[in-house]
Amino acid sequence: MTLLSVNLNKIAVLRNSRGGDEPDICKAAQTCIESGCGGITVHPRPDLRHVRPDDVRALAALLRGRVEYNIEGNPFADARGAYPGLIALAREVRPTQVTLVPDGDGQITSDHGFDLDRDIDRLRPLVGELRELGCRVSLFIDAGTENFESAVAIGVERVEIYTGPYAQAFAEGKADVALAACVHTAQEAQRARLAINAGHDLSQANLGAFKSAIPELAEVSIGHALIGEALYDGLAATVRSYVEILL
């Protein structure tokens, strides 16, 4: 079974738009856990546009010993104000997994993966530190990426395939080429003995086809579509629907 990790960033966006503490991100996490998800994902950013460091800490206390905790972020982003940096947060809360993502302040959302040829030397000491903390390390990569030996050599254990282009192609009714690129990258990563995660714009509409094409899929991280669908059907029911697709 592929693990469903629910990304709670959009819960934080809604809360931050009004101020105060509602909706409560920990209550949302509790609902997701009770509905069968196997993990919770957050993606704190230096500009604090959604999930904040205090959310990361509160969720760590709630999740410990219950489900996996996946923290995403840019390891190269400097500490700023209340944001201590991704590695510093990992040092504090010791999540199950840290997913390294090359996003910048100017991006509304993550929209590309690492260039391994260019970035591997900068990633090496950061991956090493995270592994020493006991965190599994995953790298966000584009479909079409090949040659994962350098990632394995620095201690990376998983890759997360960026599925935005696949989701867009699926919506346009022409997913074959984009899906084939995802499958090829998954196969290349598996040859290097890396486990496969995936995320970005996956939804109930397109997830089944993706899972069928990559049956060895270890984990999907889903936030935007899941929270949007939950506005109509409820959070618990929506999480259960995703879990059913992934069985």
Residues with a catalytic annotation lie at: 43, 72, 200
Tell me how long the chain is. 247
List the one residue out of 242, 237, 215, 244 whose CA is nearest residue 7.
242
Burial (CB count <10 Å: 0-12, 13-18, 19+), residue 168: middle
CA separation for the pair 240, 186 (Å, rounded):
26
**Rounded to 10 degrees, what is the CA torsion of 24, 27, 31, 37?**
90
Task: Give the Cα separation of 156 and 165 in Å (integer).
Answer: 24
What is the rounded distance in angstroms from the CA atom of residue 31 to the CA atom of residue 54?
20
Helix (H, G, I), strand (E, B) or coil at 154: coil
User: How far from 91 is each of 132, 135, 156, 221, 237, CA to CA, in Å?
Assistant: 10, 9, 17, 22, 34
Q: Which two tokens stand for residue 3?
A: 């693990």
